[in-house]
Amino acid sequence: MGVKERKERDRQEMRDQILKSAHQLFLEKGFDQISIRNIAEAIEYSPATIYLYFKDKNEIVHALHQDGFKLLNQHFQPLAKFEQPFERLKEMGKAYIKFATENPGVYELMFMRSEPMEHVSDCLDEEWREGDRAFEFLVETVAQCQSQGYFKGLHPHSFSMMIWSFIHGLCSLRISQHLGHVKGARESKISLDDIMTTTYATFSQALEKLKG
């Protein structure tokens, strides 16, 4: 009995290792520098081996895509403990930034490229469950904020879109290396993290002012 289970576990471990390597390569080399051969080299296996665990390159990308959303939701999980919705909202932003900053390659894959979307768009809605969950969490939190007097008169869905746009913009500018090239940031030696923190703080202040 144990044998079968161990095999299954080994198999899963190998899949994970492959995905982890791909993940790592995204980080180092960027989305289109990734190749089956690259991954194979990284895990020190032959390219053919990859195909024992994934049907094709697409399936790898797909898996990373889904794993990415799961991971994002994991970053959101601890936020439930914040009872004040506005507090929670602000923490969500921080968690999102943390996720993007720590997993730039996967973030790129999830939100900054159109290629994966073309494949994924054929999929069942089911595939989007994790992605939906994340967004719904945001919408709910916004709605709760409104019931406490924030963002009065604004549509919660649209306002959530706005928030997401901002935070995605900030994260993606960082990942695409544009953050450090803005006039002002370029000259002074401010760290990228500081820029993000400052910008996010500004956004938070603005949100705060939208109360009442």
Partner DNA sequence: AATGAATGAGCTTTCATTCAT
Partner DNA sequence: GATGAATGAAAGCTCATTCAT
Distance CA 82, CA 91 (A): 8
Closest approach, Cβ 116 to a copy of itself, in A, equals 9
What does 164 bind: a copy of itself, DNA, none (CB cut-off 5 to 8 Å by kind)?
a copy of itself
Closest approach, Cβ 84 to a copy of itself, in A, equals 20
**What does the CA dihedral 104, 113, 78, 194 come to, rounded to 10 degrees?**
40
Residues 6+ apart with CB under 8 A from 91: 79, 82
Judge whether 109 and 65 are in contact, CB under 8 Å. Answer: yes
Environment class of 78 (CB within 10 Å of its CB; exposed 0-12, middle 13-18, buried 19+) = exposed
Residues 6+ apart with CB under 8 A from 166: 203
Q: x/- contact string, 12-51, with DNA (CB under 7 A)?
A: --x------------------xxxxxx------xxxxx-x
User: Interface with a copy of itself by CB under 8 A: which range of 48-56, 66-74, 75-83, 191-199?
Assistant: 191-199
Closest approach, Cβ 81 to a copy of itself, in A, equals 24
Distance CA 77, CA 12 (A): 24
Binding site for a copy of itself (CB under 8 A): 30, 32, 111-115, 117-118, 120-121, 125, 128, 131-132, 135-136, 151, 153-155, 157-159, 161-162, 164-170, 172-173, 175-178, 181-184, 186, 195, 198-199, 201-203, 205-206, 209-210
Binding site for DNA (CB under 7 A): 7, 10-11, 14, 33-38, 45-49, 51-52, 56-58
